[in-house]
Amino acid sequence: MFIQPAHRFGLPDGDKPIIMVGPGTGIAPFRAFLQDRKATKSAGKSWLFFGDQKSDSDFLYREELNDYLEQGVLTRLDTAFSRDQAEKLYVQHRMLQNAAELWKWLQEGAHFYVCGDAKRMASDVDKALRQVVSEAGGLSPEATDQYIADLSRSGRYQRDVY
């Protein structure tokens, strides 16, 4: 076992919206985020992008997440199961499919979190986020880079990848 601290990987004020991208075991901190939001009765919106291979066998915490949706703790849940159809579908594809809404949440001050695989998923999610900012936000490549840098610097873009 290796312990790698994820400095600053934590919830903002309870009224701020959060967007969480946690495929597979990357869902772990986001369960805690949602548990905290429920316990503190936070008013901030919460959006989770969750993915894995197969919905039938790999939809971790399905019942818990559905309960959070019903209770309003989780505002939105978008799933991507890569092996449930002929063409692979990943969380970054869901992000791009919902680019306008994702951009709207970011403009409302949402904090964006990524947890999971550093080798492929995290870089693919970062590329998708940049594409969302560029296309939905209508920003130039330079302005997109600056926007992402500002998100990171302000603590609104946080990654716990391994």
Mean pLDDT of the chain: 95
Buried-state track 142-158, b at ≥16 Cβ within 10 A, e below 16: eebeebbeebeeeebbb
pTM value is: 0.94
pLDDT (tens digit, 9 = 90+) per residue, 82-131? Answer: 999 999 999 999 999 999 999 999 999 999 999 999 999 999 999 999 99
Write down the domain spans for the chain: 18-156
DSSP-derived letter for residue 73 is S
Distance CA 13, CA 37 (A): 10
Q: Which fold has domain 18-156?
A: Rossmann fold (3.40.50)
**pLDDT for res 101:** 98
